[in-house]
Amino acid sequence: MSFLRNRASGIVLAFMVVGIVAFLLGDVINRGTPFWQKSRNQVGSVNGESIEHQDFNAQVEQTTANFQQQMGGAAASPQIKNYAVQQVWNQFVSQQLLKQEIEKIGLTVGKEELNNLVTGANPSQQIVQAFTNPQTGTFDRNQLSTFVSSVNSQGTPQMQQQWEMLLESIHSERLNQKYSNLLASSVYVTALEAQEEYNQRNKLANFKYLMLDFAGVKDAEIKLTDADYKAYYDSHKNTFKNQEESRSIEFISFDAKPTANDTAATKSTIEQLKTQLIASTNDSLFVISNSDSKHPFTYVRKGQVSPALDSLIFNAPAGTTVGPILSNGAYEIAKVASVKFSPDSVKASHILIDATAEGGLDKAKAKADSIKGLLQKGESFASLAIQFSTDQGSKVNGGELGTFARGQMVPEFDEAVFSGKSGDIAVVNSRFGTHIIKIEKQIGNSKIVKAAIVDKAIASGKATTDAAYAKANNFFSEANSKNFKETAVKHGLKVEDAERVVAMDNNFNGTEVPRELVRWAFEAKKGEVSDKVYETDHDFIVARVVDVQPKGILSLEAVKPHIEALVKNEVKAKMLTEKLNNALAGASSIDQAAQKLGKSAIAVENIVLANPVLPGVALEPSVVGTAFGLQPNKLSKSVVGTQGVYAVQVNGFTNPAELVASDMGNQKKQMQNARAQRSWNNIFQALQAKANIDDNRVRFY
C-alpha cells in the first residue's frame, strides 16, 4: 500500500497518456485507413501532393495500352511497362511542379475570364471541339446554350460531373498558357549577346600549341595521397551529387541459354510441323495454333521476311512448303499459298470512325457507308475527313496518309488499297475502327507472295534450365555477405559489378533483371545477399548489395574508387605544369619553349571558339579559350587541359564580316527561339532540384 501511495500520481498519469493515445488512434481507425497505411499506398509525392497507387496504376495501364496500339497490338513487354511507368511518373511530377508554381506566383483565372472562354467571342478550343455540329463541322452555339441550360435546370449528376470536369480542364489549360506566356516573355537576347554568339561561330584562330601529355607520365612514377583525393573531391564536390538514392551491386549470372541439344529438339519439332503444314487445309488456323510469332496470313513483298526465308518463298511455286531454315534464333517453315503481282506502293487517304464512340461496329459501318455516299456524290474528301475522322494525325491534312509500301498498314487496310485500283473508295474494318479509304494512286508493280509462315524459337529445355538452376542454387546455399567473392572464385564464377543502380532500373550493366530483384535490392541493407535465386528468360541471378548511396552529395569514400584516374591526372598536371613553366621561362616564342623540351609545337588553323576541338587530340575548351583570349604572337602561360598541359601562341585571327542590321535581327531571333525552346526544360530542372520529391514506385513496380 505504501508503494502505491508513493507512486499513485505517476501511475495515474501513465494511464491517462495511454488513454489519450488509444483515443487518438481509435479516432484515426474509425475514420478509415490509418495514416501509416495510407502512405504505404502512395506511389509518390511532390512537395506533399501525393498520388495513390490505384490512380497511378490506371494511368500506367492506359499508357501501356497506347504503346501496344502504336506497336501494332504487340504484347506488353517488361520494357514497355517500365517505360509507361516512367512516363506517367514524369507527367505527375511536371504537372504538380507546374501547378504549385502557378499557385505560388499568384496566377489566376477570373470568373469573367472563364465565362469568356466558355461563351465568349473566342471560346476555348475544348468548347469548340465538344460542341461542333457533326453534320456541318462548325461550332454550334445553340447546342452549347442548350446543354448549359439543361445542366443548370435538370441536368443529371453525370452531366454535371462532365461539365465540371470540362470547366476544370479549361481553367487548367488557361493557367498553363499564362505561365507559358510569362516564361516566353522573360526570354530575350541583347545585341551584345548576338554579336558574341556570331563571333564565336565565325571568328577563326590560327595558333601553335605545345602539349605535355598525361600519358607521358607513368602511373608508377606517382603516388596518390589522401590529401590528393580530398583536394580533387573538394573542388569537384557538386559533380558527385546523387539525384536519387542508388545501390552498388555485385552479381553472378548463371547462363541458362539453349544448348546444342535444345537446338536439335527444336529442329525436330519444326520438321514434324512441316509435315502437318503440308497436309493442312486451314493454313491460317494452323499458323495461329503453332507459330511462336503469329505471322499474319497475308501477302508480303520481297524483303518483309527474314532474308533466308525470303529467298525461298519468292523462288517457290504456289503450293510448295519450304524450310526449315534457321534465322535469328528460330527455325522457320512456310507454305506458299499464292503468288501474284501487285503495286509497290500506294498513295491513299482515309477517314477513321471510332466504333466504340458510335455505339458499335454496325453503327460505325452505317456512318461510314453514309460518308462514302457523300463522297460518291462529289463531296470533298478533305472536308469530310476534317469533320468526321478520329485519326488526329491525318485529319489535319484532310485524311492524307502519303505514300506507303505493303506491310506498313494493318492487313485489312493493306488488302483494300493494294487489291483495288486508283480512284476506288472502300470501307473496311480493322482493330482501330472503320476506315473510309480513297486510293489516290498506285505506283509500280512487283511480285508478292501469300505464305503461311510458322516459326519455333530455340528455347532452353528442362535439362538445361535445371542444370543452370542447380549451379546457381549451390552457390546461393554456400555464399553469404562475407564470403560472396571468395565462394565465386572457388566455383570458378565471374562476379560482375553494377554501379549506381536506381530504383526503376531493369538491368544491371545491360543484363536484364527482374523487377523483384531490384525491389529486393532497395529493401536490403549493405552487405546482404539476395533472398533467393532470381530468374530471367535466359539466366539465374544471385546478387549482393555492396553499397548504398543516399540522395545528395556522395561522400569521399563512396566516390574514391571512381575518381582515381582523374586524381592521377591532377597530380600529373602539377608535375607537367612545373616542367612546362621551366621551359616557358625566358622563351620568346613557343618554338623556343618546345626546343627546350625536345618537342615540336603543332600548328592548327581555322579553329572556332564554338567548337573547341584540337584536331587529332580531343575537345579542349580551356586551351582554345586561352588562344582566343591572347594577343597575336603573345606566348601563353601553361594551361591544364583534358589530355595534358599546354602552352599556346596565336599567329593571327580572321574576323568575320560585320553583322548588318537585318542579319543582327535574324541572329537575335534564332537565339531567342532556341532559348525559348530550352526555357521550360531549364525551369523544370530548377523546380525539380528545389522540390521535395518522394518516389515510392519501387514498392509497386
DSSP state of 298: S
Q: Is the pLDDT of residue 44 over 60?
A: yes
pLDDT band at residue 41 under the 50/70/90 scheme: confident
| Residue whose C-alpha is closest to residue 545's, from 159, 251, 118, 193 | 251
Closest CA to 233 of 558, 577, 622: 558
Q: Is the model's pLDDT at 40 over the cut of 80?
A: no
Q: What average pLDDT does the structure give for the chain? A: 88
Average pLDDT on 603-628 reads 95
- Residue 14 above 80 pLDDT? no
* DSSP result, 473-489: HHHHHH--TTTHHHHHH
What is the pLDDT, as a whole number, of residue 137?
Answer: 76
* pLDDT at residue 255, rounded to an integer: 94
- In the chain, the percentage of residues whose pLDDT exceeds 70 is 93
Distant-in-sequence, close-in-space partners of 505: CB < 8 Å, separation ≥ 6: 518
Confidence of residue 459 (pLDDT cuts 50, 70, 90): very high
Q: What is the pLDDT of residue 134?
A: 65
- For residue 4, the model assigns a pLDDT of 31
CATH architecture entry for 260-341: Roll (3.10)
Contact call for residues 692 and 48 (beta carbons, < 8 A): yes
- What nine digits make up the cell of 271? 520438321
Considering only residues 662 and 116, tell me which one the structure prediction assigns the higher pLDDT: 116
Q: What's the pLDDT tens digit per position in 410-433?
A: 889 998 999 899 999 999 999 889
DSSP character string of 403-436: EEETTSS-HHHHHHHHHS-TT-EEEEEETTEEEE
pLDDT digits (tens, 9 = 90+) for 67-88: 877 765 666 677 788 889 999 9
Query: Residue 3: pLDDT above 60?
Result: no
As a whole number, mean pLDDT of residues 189-205 equals: 93
C-alpha cell at 683: 525551369
pLDDT band at 483 (very low <50, low <70, confident <90, very high): very high
Residue 68 confidence (pLDDT)? 77
Level-2 CATH architecture, domain 244-257+461-550? Roll (3.10)
pLDDT band at 21, cuts 50/70/90? very low
Q: What is the pLDDT of residue 260?
A: 95
Interval 134-162: pLDDT, tens = 667 788 888 888 888 877 776 677 778 87
Task: Flag the least confident range among 125-139, 192-206, 324-338.
Answer: 125-139
Q: What is the pLDDT of residue 124?
A: 92
Tell me the CA distances in angstroms from 692 to 46, 96, 104, one per residue in order: 6, 11, 15
Ranges 120-124, 147-151, 417-421, 629-633: which has the least confidence: 147-151
Binning pLDDT at 50, 70 and 90, where does residue 31 land? very low
pLDDT band with cut points at 50, 70 and 90 for residue 360: confident
Residue 252 has pLDDT above 70, yes or no: yes
Per-domain boundaries in the chain? 1-32, 111-186, 204-240+562-654, 244-257+461-550, 260-341, 345-443
Residue 492 has pLDDT above 90, yes or no: yes
Q: What is the Cα–Cα distance from 582 to 320, expressed in whole angstroms?
A: 84
Q: From CA 580, how far away is CA 598, in angstroms rounded?
A: 12
Structure confidence at residue 75 (pLDDT): 66
Mean predicted confidence (pLDDT) in 636-660: 94
Q: Is the pLDDT of residue 28 over 50?
A: no
CATH number, span 345-443 = 3.10.50.40
Query: If you average pLDDT over residues 370-382, what whole number do you get?
Result: 90
Mean pLDDT of 351-376: 90
For the chain, the residue count is: 701
Model pTM? 0.63
345-443 shares the fold of 244-257+461-550: yes
Torsion, Cα 76 82 87 91, to 10 degrees, reads 120
Average pLDDT over residues 373-402: 87
| CA angle (410 as vertex; 363, 361 as ends), nearest 5 | 10
Name the helix (H) or strand (E) containing 200: helix 191-202
Give the pLDDT confidence score for residue 71 in this predicted structure: 67
Model pLDDT, residue 22: 40
| pLDDT at residue number 1 | 31
Q: Which helix (H) or strand (E) holds 402?
A: strand 400-405
Q: Tell me the pLDDT band of 610, cut-offs 50, 70 and 90.
A: very high
Contacts of 542 (CB under 8 A, 6+ apart): 251, 252, 254, 472, 475, 476, 479, 529, 530, 533, 534
pLDDT at residue 487, as a whole number: 96
Contact 249, 546 (CB under 8 A): yes
Residue 530 has pLDDT above 70, yes or no: yes
pLDDT at 357: 84
pLDDT value at position 155?
64
Higher pLDDT, 250 or 137: 250
